[in-house]
Structure 1
Amino acid sequence: MLTGKQKRYLRKKAHHLKPVFQIGKAGVNDNLIKQTLDALEARELIKLNVLQNCAEDKHFVAEAIAEGAKADIVQIIGSTIILYKESTENKRIELPN
């Protein structure tokens, strides 16, 4: 669970990032969760974009992916979701206390 201070720090770090995945009409599936897990292990902080043709609500999509990848939701703004998960082998981001 992230504190408010940590979320602010991660939002600042994620500002310049481009979305790694786009979620369309296929919605959330096992393959998307697996790829998200791999991306989080490599980068720790990623953005996802929910397209207009996605049948599911962006909050449901964020919860489903975060739960499947065991990641933390940093922010949902517009159609963009920011996720964070500490990497086991590739630690890059030092969170403030």
Structure 2
Amino acid sequence: MLTGKQKRFLRANAHDLNAIFQVGKGGVNDNLIKQIREALEARELLKVSILQNCEEDKHDVAKALAKGARAELVQLIGLTVVLYKESRENKQIKLP
């Protein structure tokens, strides 16, 4: 579980990132979660964009992504989800 200070630090680092995944009409599926898990191992911090045509609630999508990828939900702002998971091999981010 992240503290408020750690979430604030991660939000600041995520500000300049572009969303590398999109959740669309198909919603959250196993393939998407697998790809996000692999990307988190390489990057530790990433953004996921929820498209307008996604039929699921954005809060449910964010929780499903975090749970499926075993990651921390840093932020849900608008239709953008920020996820963090400490990498086992590529540690790049040092939390305060």
Provide the TM-score with structure 1 as the length reference.
0.98
**Who is 1:61 aligned against?**
61
Alignment coverage as a number of residue pairs = 96
**Who is 1:47 aligned against?**
47
**Who is 2:27 aligned against?**
27
TM superposition shift of 1:88: 0.3
TM superposition shift of 1:40: 0.2
User: 1:8-53 deviations in whole A, cap 9, x for unaligned?
Assistant: 0000000000001011001000000000000100000000000000
**Who is 1:37 aligned against?**
37
Unaligned runs of 5+ in 1: none
What CA RMSD, in Å, does the superposition of the two structures yield over aligned residues? Answer: 0.4
Q: Structure 2 counterpart of 1:15, which letter?
A: H
Q: Structure 1 counterpart of 2:92, which letter?
A: R
**Residue 89 of structure 1: SS of its match in structure 2?**
coil
1:82 partnered with 2:79: no
TM superposition shift of 1:3: 0.2
2: CA distance, partners of 1:85 / 1:74: 10
Percentage of identical aligned residues: 68
Unaligned runs of 5+ in 2: none
